[in-house]
Amino acid sequence: MSGQQSIDEKFIQRLTEILEENLEKEHFGVRELAAAVGVSRSQLHRKLKAINGKSTSQFIREFRLDKAMEMLQDNVATASEIAYKVGFSSPTYFNTCFHQYFGYPPGEVKFRNPGDNDNSAVIQSSSNTSKTTSTKSRKHRVYIIVIMVFFLLASLGWYKYIDSKNEDIKTTEFPIDKTDNSIAVLPFKNMSGSQENEAFCDGMTAAIISRLSKIRSINKVISLTSMMNYKEKEKTITEIANELDVRYILESGFQKSGNSIKMNLQLIDGKTEQIFWSQEYKGSYDSIFKVQAQVAEMVAKKIDANITDEEQAEILLAMTQNMEAYDNYLQGLNIMTGESAKSFRASRKYFKKAIELDSNFAEAYERLGWTYSHMGTWFGNMSKQKADSLAAPYYKKALELDPDNLDLLRTRAEQEFYNWNFKAADSMLTVYKKKVGENFFSDFLNLMLGRYDRVIESYNNRMKFNNEPLSGRDWSVPYAYYFKGKIDSTLIIMQTTLLHSPTSEPTYDRLGNLYIALKEYEKAKDVIETGLQISSKRYASMLVNLAIVYHFLGNEEKSLEYLTEVIDRANNGEPEINVFVAHYYARLGNNDKAFYWLDRAYKNHEVDLIWLKTDPNLLQLKDDPRYSMLCKKIGFPDCQHNFERNYGIKIE
């Protein structure tokens, strides 16, 4: 044990030495410290959490404040001058942090004895009063806030009760200057430890996001899809706020036991990690929709969002009055997180049951439609026409019941996009982005429309605060770099993504596709064959890319073996794969056969024709008049690809 402590102590000592060397550098933060010590940001975060329960940003901030205290006690300079000496860019922010950490402002240091800090006393006396923190790194700050608020509000009382028969609410707050009311709701944490309650936690998250998104005076509310990416990630509040470009983060723990529920809510300033409002709630599960409305309303008021009478009425509307229907809906959502054709199919019975129990359950209709439409787009298990026909009645009903639903808006944008109505999709996503920010599908549409700079800008904005690789779904970024002629960036991004997401089937396919474009056939073969080995099915796109690879490697027998398999499957009626046969003939320069298969794909309205102006294989056809005609028939905007002239890429 002592040996382990010695290692930890040496690690902390190394960190403090690095911080000492860079004390006056205000921009020396989490990323710089991690790089200096030779670990990733996430590794550093986990290591510090294990040693002392602190986040990296908290560790850095408290080190600077301790140094400031030493300087103030030695009277080396004024408080404002010392603020800059310890790396704070604002004396005002320094004063706020100092007061929070030590319990009194820096101007009082000279009137106190050296060991007269309030921290230990505050923490000890508050150990049994605060129930609102969910991590050790925030307890320290909350205890201080609790004591300050107690003395300020003692005469008015600290506890607030509503519906005292069934509900018990306990509130604390520490007001700050609010200039931006964008917000993200972190996935509610399961405080019960029971896996069965995960569905209820996710349901609460979805409900709060849905209600906040109805308030138009809130600048931005990050979507549930984006927020679920943070369910398992260990990141600081500041990192999350910066990545999502929001000012506020709502965090909560949720517990359900029988008909009883409990929540610990915290509204946090994403810039300072200051918890300026917190609330503990206890009540009955039967009143869950009332609770959701109250939470959304209280959060909106705390971030200075004005709620109109119409919005108030929308917020108060419950998804359903049938609790059994709601439970089925939540179970369906939880199963869908598997993000596979199998999990989507399995979720249907729960959404259908929810609709049977409540025929006006808009969200259940929308999710049920989603399970069908994805079969014809992402999963390719049926033709898009069939998938659309199955999904259409559910989407129609959802739209009738709740035309302002943000999830439905994004779904409709996807449908318009896959139906080649690019202008309508672009318009819908513009509205969607104003509320939830940049997202994967926005980048995807921008790539298909040739807006490479927008894709790269979106990626760079994310990477300012997040050094983690892209997910397997983010194909847009490496392709955007490819078409801008930045080949090194293309390969680095794809290879890094593959290292960190070794089970991402699309990443193998797309990296192989780009290797073919660069004539790196051996590398393409290795990558695609690995992808096939781990894949749940023999994807036609992978088989065709392998056929291309083996052709250029001189193994014509192997090439035709893969090509014949795909052609046979297409002739036997398998949907969505005619377009991939066209890839083969386009790459080999047989334009007539390529357009024969593209015509088949067009008549079947195959989804992957959206790649017509973006996939390097199909771009071999760009000088053929039939190519421009097909682009026009599909409805692409006039954004011609002048690759050779603009980007120096010669398409051969």
39-58 mean pLDDT:
76
CA 121/CA 182 separation, integer angstroms: 36
More confident residue, 317 or 523: 523
Residue 545 pLDDT > 50: yes
282-295 mean pLDDT:
81
Angle in degrees, CA 548, 552, 557, rounded to 5: 75
Condensed to tens digits (0 to 9), the pLDDT of residues 437-480 reads 666 778 888 888 888 998 888 877 766 544 455 555 567 888 89
Residue 143 pLDDT > 90: no
Decide: helix, strand or coil at residue 201: helix
40-64 mean pLDDT:
79
Decide: helix, strand or coil at residue 220: coil
609-627 mean pLDDT:
92
Q: What is the pLDDT of residue 113?
A: 59
The string of DSSP letters for 275-344 reads: EEEEEEEEEEGGGHHHHHHHHHHHHHHHTT----HHHHHHHH--S-S-HHHHHHHHHHHHHHTT-SHHHH
CA 354/CA 257 separation, integer angstroms: 22
State the maximum Cα–Cα separation within the chain, in Å, rounded to a whole number.
89
Q: In whole numbers, what is the pLDDT of the chain averaged over residues?
A: 77
Condensed to tens digits (0 to 9), the pLDDT of residues 471-512 reads 555 678 888 999 998 888 888 887 777 766 677 777 888 889
DSSP assignment letter at 582: H
Q: What is the pLDDT of residue 583?
A: 97
Which residue reads 């004005």 in tokens? 306
Residue 579 pLDDT > 90: yes
> 343: burial class by Cβ within 10 Å (0-12, 13-18, 19+)?
middle
CA 184/CA 270 separation, integer angstroms: 10
Cβ–Cβ < 8 Å for 609, 579: yes
Condensed to tens digits (0 to 9), the pLDDT of residues 182-236 reads 888 888 888 776 666 777 788 888 888 888 887 888 888 887 767 877 776 667 8
> 381: burial class by Cβ within 10 Å (0-12, 13-18, 19+)?
middle
Burial 579-614, CB ≥16 within 10 A → b, else e: bbbbbbbbbbeebeebbebbebbbebbbbbbbbbbb
DSSP assignment letter at 379: S
Q: What is the pLDDT of residue 96?
A: 65
- One-letter amino acid at 231 equals K
Packing angle between helix 288-302 and helix 309-316, nearest 10 degrees?
Answer: 140
- One-letter amino acid at 552 equals F
Domains and CATH numbers, the chain: 2-117 (1.10.10.60), 159-316 (3.40.50.10610), 323-436 (1.25.40.10), 503-647 (1.25.40)
Backbone angles phi, psi at 132, to 5 degrees: -105, -10
Q: 409: which 2 tokens? A: 């808006």
Cβ–Cβ < 8 Å for 611, 605: no
Cα dihedral sign for 211, 212, 216, 220?
negative
Which residue reads 């004390």 in tokens? 23
What DSSP element (H or E) covers 599?
A: helix 591-603
pTM: 0.52
CA 525/CA 543 separation, integer angstroms: 10
**Cβ neighbours of residue 368 closer than 8 Å, sequence gap 6 or more:** 348, 351, 352, 355, 394
